[in-house]
Structure 1
Amino acid sequence: MAKHNELGKEGEKIAVEYLVKTGYKILETNYRYIKAEVDIIAQKEAVLVAVEVKTRSSNYFEDPQDAVKAKKIKLLVSAIDYYVSQRDLDVEVRFDIIAILHQKNKIEIEHLEDAFLYF
């Protein structure tokens, strides 16, 4: 597996651990719908949360969260729409980004709730 793929998988693992510690219930990981993949689908109280995880070893070019572009947002929204309708869920939906900067032995986690409001 390519080094950047390994970093991404490690970041998703860190994000799941972080979410569990902060009171989220993990419902799905790596949920796929057509061309979309939602890294984590979680629930906290009555809110369904779709989480995009971005992990980088450096923020030299851009912060991890800045890598989530309009096309990715559109795919995530369609995947969650399908997920909710297939399960006939009546829940509030929120889209978060967990940005992880993994440099040397230091890990920084930034959890952006309702992240797509800022795009």
Structure 2
Amino acid sequence: MNTHIDLGRRGEDAAAEYLAGLGWTILDRNWRCQEGELDIVAHDGRGHIACEVKTRRSNRFGDPLDAITADKAARLRRLAWRWAAAHGVGGTSMRVDVLGLIGDGDAFSIDHLREVC
């Protein structure tokens, strides 16, 4: 398997585990529509959250959270609305979080940025 794809998959698994550890319910993983993909959709007991996961082996080429530009954030918001419409959830109850993961041996350090948009 491609090591880049494997790193991304392991990062998403670690992010889902982290969110579950917060008591969140994972509702969807790798949800796709014509506009793109949401890595994780969860519910924290109060509302629905679309989570973008950015994983890197190190921060040598920058922080993973730096990959979230204004255009990317707007696209994530549109995808969150699409997920909400497809699942009968009001769009106003959706928010977008980003999780930046840096590999640390077999584990990851996780930076959780809430309410990106």
TM-score, structure 1 normalization: 0.88
Q: Does 1:3 align with 2:8?
A: no
Q: Residue deviations 1:6-31, cap 9 Å, x none?
A: 10000000000000010100000001
Q: CA deviation at 1:70?
A: 3.1
Report the CA distance shift for 1:61/1:93 in structure 2 as closer, same or farther (over 3 A). Answer: same
Structure 1, unaligned runs of 5 or more:
none
Cα distance between partner residues in 2 of 1:115 and 1:86: 22
Structure 2, unaligned runs of 5 or more:
none
Name the Cα RMSD after superposition: 1.6
Q: How does 1:1-119 map to 2 (within 5 A)?
A: 1-90=1-90, 92-105=93-106, 107-116=108-117
Cα distance between partner residues in 2 of 1:106 and 1:40: 19
Cα distance between partner residues in 2 of 1:69 and 1:32: 20
Cα distance between partner residues in 2 of 1:16 and 1:60: 24
Partner amino acid, structure 2, of 1:93? M
Equivalent residue of 1:96, what SS? strand
Between 1:87-96 and 1:18-27, the stretch displaced more is 87-96
Report the CA distance shift for 1:105/1:13 in structure 2 as closer, same or farther (over 3 A). Answer: closer
TM-score, structure 2 normalization: 0.89
Identity of aligned residues (%): 34
Cα distance between partner residues in 1 of 2:42 and 2:89: 13
